[in-house]
Structure 1
Amino acid sequence: MPDAGHTQSCPRGGRERRRLVAAVTLILAVWSQGALAVDAPLSLAEAQGLALARSRQLVAQDAGAAASQDLAVAARQLPDPVLRVGVDNLPVTGTDRYSLSSDFMTMRRVGLMQELTRSDKRRLRAERFEREADKALAEKDRLSAEIERDTALAWLDRYYAEAMMAVLTEQRAQAKLAIEAAEGTYRGGRGSQADVLAARVALGVIDDRASELDRKLQNATVRLERWVGAAARQPLFGRPDIDKLRFDLATLDTSSLGAHLVHHPEIAVLGKQEQIAQAEADLAKANEKPDWTVEVNYLHRGPAFSDMVSVGVSVPLQWDRRNRQDRELAAKLAAVEQAKDEREEMLRQHLGETRAMINEWQNDRERRQRYERELIPLAVQRGSAALAAYRGGKAGIGDVLSARRDEIDLRLQALQLEASAAQRWAYLNFLYPSTKSMPTTVSTERK
């Protein structure tokens, strides 16, 4: 017959083992998911989406727009009525002093006062806040474009730093082989110790350049981390096509570029500021007609006397209109002209910068293609020829090292040109937020 205590302890031990297994399984699942999340590659589009989702600036602009909309609703309403309560003609001397009912002139007063703001003035005040809301949304578009652009620049900086590091890693392996070859020929009596030292110097130069590139890579990762957080440590993939833009260069001449940039977020913000200034000028014009205030009072006297009602109207007297209302209107109209001029100047600035950037982007692409099509293949052929001559005893190790050094320089220069073109591409391609349609169609390559 089984022991009773043993029979009771088995289920409890089984439950504990199952709980332990479940806990270990959960820990492994969480760890594996975290490992997958860390190792998951990060594309440029994903990085930009993550940067937009993490941004608190965009949330702040939404809050600002909502606040202005609420103020616009409030501005359409009449001012709150004013309750007036008081005592008139209270005696303070004589036998009736401080009596509220003995003297026939003593009255307890209750009244309402209402300012009658004209409907057109209330409408203009509301429109002014609505323009503020529009400006906050335009600021959000500007910030979205800047976030996408800066994220793209940080992503591309890290991408090309890694690409350059890969070139140096490949060349470092070749440099180590060159050292082994120089040492072998030196031991065989066909080479000199100077060749061995030259090969080692070449390896040291590559290591020094790799150290500099590693610093640039770390800084690029830090800049990307500012936008995407811990995801900046993930591997990158999916280099964008930097030979195409979101607008059509083939149909974009100097005149149409200006019309295109009118919709630029920074220009749009200044356009909203101009609308705000115009709304304030319209309101100043409406203020030339004063608002009336109506007041009704009920006056209660002692029981021996009758109660009374008083009605009054208050009208501001614009006795110095030339130096008050007219001056205010002139100031607001000057602010409108100021906003127009600032917008026009900003448009000219962006037009010049964009035209120059397009030229630089096209030039960098053409030079990069020349490197890939002509210069790098020639450098590779020269390196192969130098190596063959060295193996045949017709050239020294210095010729081989010089050819490989030139090849490294050309490969890095080609990557630098491509990185420069990618930076110009980021500035041009994200003049506008990706969530908004461009004023023109998707671009084609330069003809």
Structure 2
Amino acid sequence: MPSLAFSTFSAHRTVRHTVLLLSARIGLAALAGSLALVANVYAVEAPLTLAEAQRRAIDRSRQLTAQDYSIAAARDMAVAAGQLPDPVLKAGIDNLPVTGRDRGSLNSDFMTMRRIGVMQEITGSDKRRLRSDRFQLEAQKTLAEKTVATAAIERDTALAWLDRYYADAMAAVVAEQGAQARLEIQSAEGAYRAGRGSQADVFAAQSALAMFDDRASEIRRRVRNANTMLARWIGNASDLALAEKPATDAIRLDLATLDSAIAHHPEIAVLSKQVEVAETDAKLAKANEKADWTVEVGFQQRSAAYSNMVSVGLSIPLQWDRKNRQDRELSAKLAVVEQAKAEREDMLRSHVAETKSMIEEWQNDRERHARYESELIPLANQRTLAAIAAYRGGKASLADVLAARRNVIDIRIQALQLATDTDRLWAQLNFLFPTDAAMTHAAMNQDTQ
């Protein structure tokens, strides 16, 4: 009897080992199939790289086109503002009789004259130059705003691309675990029918599959949302496969020179141009203390019996209340200059502090992700292998194996989420400046005429 019992136990262990080995092989085949499916879903055209997505977003942007028109408009206004005001043609009739026997006559009264003349406002060359300079600075400011928009487009496109990349990665992980869960249901049902397992194991496997299906539904929603955000920048993205992500272990910023680098940030450049515009407005207010003169020349024609006449006139505004008008205007413009300088300084401090915090967070997240890859994920896999070995030896239940597998997927999803957050920080830091920042910086300093 003992030998018979030992033989039955050995046969039981052999069958269990064979079933589990078959299950593992089928699981590997299912994993390969699921990964191939994920790869083929987006195989309509060549994989989309991050750089290509950014290029498409730049080409597709209407905001940049609108700013190009604004720059052209400001440059044209700079030319127009540097010219003298248009001369004014004046014509009329003076001293026309309206009563008496000569009423309505142009030739009877010696005072009646037909008049034609020209009036010209003489604006000082310094004022015209300052007005032209102001529009040139507006063009440069808009060019700086275009640089801000370009950096934002590259950054937001990178964020959308990375969200899609990691959503696809999470979908592959969940698909892998879902396929394994279905195989475990088959194994549990087979063991239960053969009298080697319990119905509780079947229910546990079915519950695990339901949880994986629920998580897969959530991941599919995440993929759809990521597609929507990527399509906002590059157009339809649902059929595009993504290439491998670029290296995200380095950024284009150096903590040692961060303050000086941020001082050239596009948003700071916009405020610097705003300071120059305000300073030019103050110079104009100062120049307005000198009133513009108006010169007028006219020719008056009378009847043949009387002499024709020429008139010359000069108009000069009387600045009789300068302390409450011109001086107040200058004071207001100088206050705007100080306001613009204070806003620029405050934004510079804010950008430096935020950037340093982001760099610290990015470095910390990289350290944490390395810990997941080197310690937490391998430990979770070892725990699963130990649970499977215990289950094979009859020392653990299927529920223990399922719990270990859930722990693996939780750890892997957490690692992917941490990688997503880390790379999103990388994108925000790496694209503080446009990719072609050097060329853009040179363009901002060119003559805008």
Assess same fold via TM > 0.5: yes
1:20: which partner in 2? none
Deviation at 1:38, TM superposition (A): 4.3
2:428: which partner in 1? 427
Equivalent-residue separation in structure 1 for 2:279 and 2:171 (angstroms): 56
1:323: which partner in 2? 324
Show the 5 A alignment for 1:234-383. 234-247=240-253, 249=254, 252-253=255-256, 256-383=257-384
Please tell me the residue identity of whatever aligns with 1:209: R
Q: Tell me if 1:88 matches 2:94.
A: yes
Please tell me the residue identity of whatever aligns with 1:195: D
1:144: which partner in 2? 150
Q: Secondary structure at the match of 1:108?
A: strand
Deviation at 1:134, TM superposition (A): 0.7
Deviation at 1:439, TM superposition (A): 11
Equivalent-residue separation in structure 1 for 2:235 and 2:381 (angstroms): 41
2:231: which partner in 1? 225
Q: Secondary structure at the match of 2:63?
A: helix
What per-residue deviation string (whole Å, max 9, x for no partner) do you get for residues 20-78 of structure 1?
Answer: xxxxxxxxxxxxxxx99943321111111111111110000000010000000001111
- Measured at CA, do residues 58 and 300 of structure 1 come closer, stay the same or move farther in structure 2, by a change above 3 Å? same
Deviation at 1:135, TM superposition (A): 1.1
Q: Tell me if 1:386 matches 2:391.
A: no
- Residues 221 and 233 of structure 1 are in contact (CA less than 8 Å); yes or no, is this contact kept in structure 2? no
Q: Secondary structure at the match of 1:85?
A: strand
Q: Secondary structure at the match of 1:233?
A: coil
2:17: which partner in 1? none
- Measured at CA, do residues 438 and 85 of structure 1 come closer, stay the same or move farther in structure 2, by a change above 3 Å? closer
- Residues 227 and 237 of structure 2 are in contact (CA less than 8 Å); yes or no, is this contact kept in structure 1? no
Number of equivalences = 401
Q: Secondary structure at the match of 2:395?
A: coil
State the TM-score, normalizing by the size of structure 2: 0.86
Identity between Structure 1 and Structure 2 (%): 64
The one of 200, 205, 210 aligned to 1:204:
210
Equivalent-residue separation in structure 2 for 1:188 and 1:380 (angstroms): 29
Q: Secondary structure at the match of 1:239?
A: coil
Equivalent-residue separation in structure 2 for 1:79 and 1:233 (angstroms): 59
Q: Tell me if 1:104 matches 2:110.
A: yes
Q: Which runs of 5+ in 1 are unaligned?
A: 1-34, 441-447
Q: Secondary structure at the match of 1:437?
A: helix
Please tell me the residue identity of whatever aligns with 2:144: A
- Residues 107 and 301 of structure 1 are in contact (CA less than 8 Å); yes or no, is this contact kept in structure 2? yes
Equivalent-residue separation in structure 1 for 2:440 and 2:326 (angstroms): 42
- Measured at CA, do residues 203 and 152 of structure 1 come closer, stay the same or move farther in structure 2, by a change above 3 Å? same
Deviation at 1:365, TM superposition (A): 0.8
Cα RMSD between the aligned structures? Answer: 1.8
Q: Secondary structure at the match of 2:84?
A: coil
What per-residue deviation string (whole Å, max 9, x for no partner) do you get for residues 253-283 of structure 1?
Answer: 3xx3222111111111111111111111111
Equivalent-residue separation in structure 2 for 1:246 and 1:206 (angstroms): 40
- Measured at CA, do residues 219 and 323 of structure 1 come closer, stay the same or move farther in structure 2, by a change above 3 Å? same
- Residues 145 and 431 of structure 1 are in contact (CA less than 8 Å); yes or no, is this contact kept in structure 2? yes
Deviation at 1:343, TM superposition (A): 1.1
Q: Secondary structure at the match of 1:113?
A: strand
What per-residue deviation string (whole Å, max 9, x for no partner) do you get for residues 172-229 of structure 1?
Answer: 1222222222223323323211111111111111111111111111111111111111
Equivalent-residue separation in structure 2 for 1:420 and 1:187 (angstroms): 47
- Measured at CA, do residues 363 and 187 of structure 1 come closer, stay the same or move farther in structure 2, by a change above 3 Å? same
- Measured at CA, do residues 67 and 117 of structure 1 come closer, stay the same or move farther in structure 2, by a change above 3 Å? same
- Residues 43 and 239 of structure 2 are in contact (CA less than 8 Å); yes or no, is this contact kept in structure 1? no
Equivalent-residue separation in structure 2 for 1:166 and 1:246 (angstroms): 32
Equivalent-residue separation in structure 1 for 2:353 and 2:440 (angstroms): 18
- Measured at CA, do residues 233 and 266 of structure 1 come closer, stay the same or move farther in structure 2, by a change above 3 Å? farther
Equivalent-residue separation in structure 1 for 2:297 and 2:244 (angstroms): 75
Equivalent-residue separation in structure 1 for 2:121 and 2:439 (angstroms): 48
Deviation at 1:238, TM superposition (A): 2.4
Please tell me the residue identity of whatever aligns with 1:55: S
State the TM-score, normalizing by the size of structure 1: 0.87
Please tell me the residue identity of whatever aligns with 2:327: D
2:83: which partner in 1? 77
Equivalent-residue separation in structure 1 for 2:212 and 2:250 (angstroms): 34
Equivalent-residue separation in structure 2 for 1:435 and 1:230 (angstroms): 26
Moved over 4 A (4+): 35-38
- Residues 246 and 438 of structure 1 are in contact (CA less than 8 Å); yes or no, is this contact kept in structure 2? no
Q: Which runs of 5+ in 2 are unaligned?
A: 1-40, 442-449
2:38: which partner in 1? none
Equivalent-residue separation in structure 2 for 1:421 and 1:173 (angstroms): 29
- Measured at CA, do residues 326 and 232 of structure 1 come closer, stay the same or move farther in structure 2, by a change above 3 Å? farther
